[in-house]
Chains A and B, each alone.
Chain A
Amino acid sequence: MSSTAELQKGVIKEEKTEIVVKVKRFSKERGEWWQEYKLAVDRFTQITEVLRRIRSEQDPSLSYRAACHMAVCGSCAMKINGAPRLACKTLALDLVKRYNDNVITLEPMDRFPVVKDLITDMTEFYDKMYSVKPRLYPSPQVLEDKAQHRLRPEDQRLLWKYAQCIWCGLCVSSCPAVRIDEKFLGPAAHAKGFRFLADPRDTIQEERMKILLDSAWRCTYCYMCFEVCPREIEPVEAIKLTRTYTPPEGMSEVSRMGEKHTDAIKESITKSGKLMEAYVYGKAYGAGAIRDFVYFLASGRGKYLLVREKPVNNISEVKKLMGEAK
């Protein structure tokens, strides 16, 4: 039964459930420790409210960030039951139900250095955001009020999707590519970067491509950012869209390789309707493929070279679907 219907009948007595909250705490003076709190909550209680009540009623020393309690300010990012989440957007009893356990664990986000309890140092995140020049550079005529911006509703919709990043850091904290590659700007900065790259009112598109393109090819498409983003920005999709841009001059090695690889895949599909691995390898890596061949043979997979997958019979249909030849 829906909650309003229940409430209309007055059957809800705001039933309280006892939960145990385990917080991974840290202070410079004491180091790291786990602390447990018990409190009774109802099914509307957000984790931010759990934290506020612990601080107000049990332990004033517990440190965390929280502000808007409605998932627009991005302050309360943390790991809840091991997953990157916003505390305000998480209801305590939802977790109890989902994990079938009345113990809830709270930890600071991964990746960023812990400062105190659930508070992390997000300098790296902010620096990455600033590095994409996150602001519109309109034409001088517009700035001088000699011309007017217009924006098609569909462009507004596309840009707004990626403009809604609330700088919470959850995606970067859980991104594997950021962890291994300092040249990768990370999901949030890419969403932000694309929001301006694709803005028809902007005037520094070439510079933006220089900033974004090499990095875009360093993403590994694991969809973690898509999964954890509390605003459903889908940063990985911004990266995919960024890869479709071609910079005006010289591509970096990473983006050149990446583009060659993707082109080879598309060509293979256009030709045969399938991804012919040998074809893609040869096309993308050229002579470099020979080195891989050694490993391939060593693994005992040589026999599969003889497996020849047949092309799609109705190849003309595939070509039509790919927009080739009318």
Chain B
Amino acid sequence: MEKSSYDAVVVGAGLAGLMSAYYIAKDKHRVAVISKVFPTRSHSSAAEGGIAAYIKGNSDPNDNPDYMTYDTVKGGDYLVDQDAAELLSNKSGEIVEIMERWGALFNRQPDGRVAIRYFGGQTYPRTRFVGDKTGMALLHTLFERTSGENIDIFPEWFALDLVIDDSKRVNGVVAMEMKTMNPIFFKARAVVLATGGMGMLYRHTTNSYINTGDGYGMALRAGAPIKDPEFVQFHPTALYPSDILISEAARGEGAILKNVNGERFMTKYAPHKLDLAPRDVVSRAILTEVKEGRGYPGVYVGLDLTHLGEKYIKERLALAYEAAKTFAGVDAVNEPIPVRPAQHYYMGGIDVNTMGQNEEIKGLFAAGEAACVSVHGANRLGSNSLLETLVFGRETGITVSRYLSATPELSVDTNPEPILDEAYKFVKSESGVPFGEILEKLRDAMWDRVGVFRDEDGLREALSTITSLREKVKEMYVTDKSGVYNTEFFNALEMRNMMDLAVVIAKAALERRESRGAHYRLDYPKRDDANYLVHTLAYIRGNTVEITTKPVRMTRWQPEERVY
């Protein structure tokens, strides 16, 4: 296999990946960014509502970073590492200012300063935004910025696996150019996994088709743990039936959820925060309404914007308006938008500290949704994901740079060939199961049994289904033998990544016998701090999932009852 040497390789070219690459390159380290899609296609572009930030001199006069941390900790149902959340809040202002300097076109106040709005779970309004295409605006700004820097970007290259040596040290990554199918061993002392989320594991998701959890699979196979894998966020307002995200900004701007009787049902579930309660609370409320017969027949509720007026809707909520019109044929100026919960975000991820560093495998870093820095705990607040990608993308980049300066060049020469042999098996097989057959069953199992509401029986059933599906991956085969842009081959590799993660999620969900944030057990509806105020760490060892725990780091906020 051809070899190419870098100091560091970043896998993924969304906000987290590009941000870390920028800070690695800034110190003159040689960095490659590998992405299976052209950078602007990354899922960061789909983030809509905004980025939370406390900006000194441009925030609510009563607000301060501590309120922001408190909101994040409480929103995450106390499974948040509080030092990480403090870092997130404290650096939020400067990160938005950096993006502003680089040209991000934030909406403005009449005096020219960056504008602000409310998002779910915020004590004071903190969300900065570019219409409702904030993710797209930030991703383009950052990509355009980095395209002028000394960073080698490899768009449409698929990362297969990490190369790890005998002393549990990262040696690099094997990736393949999708067009030519030419594999290269990218030799590097540090690898940042910034591969984003995993929505495709679920039947209903707001995520991109490309969100197949590739980084989680790679990390698990390299022996690194996934932290808090059972915590999957379901966004309450996905458009029915296409699952296109209707941003929380809609509710931030005043939209109201109503059941089939026209009742504002959130008054029952969150009497103070109402429609702007955190996402786990609202998702459960919607599904409870539906279960108790107050949903619309297609199993959804209405998101009412009509009182906001046409001009306001079209200017501030353009994307929501357009999505409802284009994809559901609903004119939001005149009628409620049909919505239901769908998978949206993954709080779990590759276990890293606040510097983005995995402490078990030397040279392994992760950032963004792929990582679990534990700023979101059991439930992420809206506007905190864009913020996390940039704040921790930068922290990780800076750490990698420091790590590289302190770490000598690799002397060993680990053989990367087995990674290829393993992958090529799928193409070499002449018969077996095509990936689609496994995928559709997985998505149903996850949605039905590892979804918004969970219980012991369902999780056991899911685990057994997933385990047998995971066995089937071994029999998977690729019908297409083309040597140019063979997407079926890459779909098969994605399938493998998805299965490795799915089994870990199901197992961890089964083992957490309490309800916390987005993990809701019908059989254990209460939070149980005595037994479960700990992080889950899940490893894959051969055919088994190993679960251990790790303490939650608390600084100033003791757990209290979570009411909104």
Contacts and interface: CB of A to CB of B under 8 A. Distances in A.
| Complex: A in contact with B (CB within 8 Å) | yes
Interface of A: 2-5, 7-8, 10, 12, 14, 27-30, 43-44, 46, 48-49, 52, 55-57, 60-75, 89, 91, 115-116, 119, 121-122, 126, 130, 133-136, 138, 142-143, 145, 149-153, 156, 159-160, 163-164, 166-167, 196, 199, 201
Contacts of B133: 72, 164
B108 A153 contact: yes
Interface string B36-61: 01101111011000000000000000
Contacts of B480: 60-61, 63
B187 to A, nearest CB: 26
B483 interface: yes
A44 B103 contact: no
Contact of B43 (A28, A43, A68, A89): A68
B486 interface: yes
A227 B12 CA distance: 33
B136 A166 contact: yes
Nearest to A159: B105
Interface of A is mostly: loop
A70 B46 contact: yes
Contact of B41 (A67, A135, A151, A159): A67
B366 to A, nearest CB: 21
B413 to A, nearest CB: 34
A310 B109 CA distance: 52
Contacts of A29: 481-484
Contact of B140 (A27, A64, A163): A163
Nearest to A150: B112
Interface in B195-240: 208-210
Contact of B148 (A5, A14, A135): A135
A166 B105 contact: no
A220 B38 CA distance: 30
Q: Which 7 A-B pairs have the closest CB atoms?
A: A150-B112, A136-B103, A61-B480, A56-B436, A10-B297, A116-B485, A67-B208
A143 to B, nearest CB: 6
B488 interface: yes
A193 B487 CA distance: 34
A70 to B, nearest CB: 5
B289 to A, nearest CB: 15
B491 A70 contact: no
22 contacts: A3-B338, A28-B483, A28-B484, A29-B484, A55-B491, A60-B488, A63-B485, A63-B488, A67-B43, A69-B208, A70-B319, A73-B45, A73-B46, A122-B38, A135-B148, A150-B113, A156-B108, A160-B131, A164-B133, A166-B136, A199-B103, A201-B103
Contacts, number: 198
Contact of B179 (A49, A62, A89, A121): A121
Contact of A119 (B323, B326, B330, B485): B485
B484 A27 contact: yes
A153 B148 contact: no
Contacts of A91: 326-327
Contacts of A49: 242
A208 to B, nearest CB: 13
Q: Which range holds the interface residue count of chain B?
A: 35 or more
Nearest to B337: A4
A4 B338 contact: yes
Interface in B102-135: 102-103, 105-113, 130-131, 133, 135
Contacts of B111: 150
A70 B245 contact: yes
B435 interface: yes
A49 B109 CA distance: 40
Given A73-B46, A134-B147, A153-B110, A164 B136 contact: yes
Contact of A46 (B242, B329, B335): B242
Contacts of B323: 70
Contacts of A28: 482-484
A49 B209 CA distance: 10
Contacts of B491: 55, 60
Contacts of A60: 434-436, 478-480, 488, 491
Given A69-B208, A150-B112, A160 B103 contact: no
A43 B112 contact: no
B9 to A, nearest CB: 21
Nearest to A54: B436
A143 B145 CA distance: 13
Contact of B210 (A4, A30, A67, A126): A67
B328 A44 contact: yes
B106 to A, nearest CB: 8
B45 A136 contact: no
Interface in B131-176: 131, 133, 135-137, 140-141, 144-145, 147-148
A59 B108 CA distance: 49
Contacts of B241: 14, 44
B138 to A, nearest CB: 11
B439 to A, nearest CB: 6
Contacts of B334: 2
B244 interface: yes
B435 to A, nearest CB: 6
Contacts of B268: none
A105 to B, nearest CB: 20
Given A66-B209, A74-B40, A116 B482 contact: yes
B178 to A, nearest CB: 9
A298 to B, nearest CB: 52
Contact of A134 (B101, B144, B210): B144
A72 B329 contact: no
A133 B148 CA distance: 8
A4 B302 contact: yes
A68 B108 contact: no
A63 B480 CA distance: 10
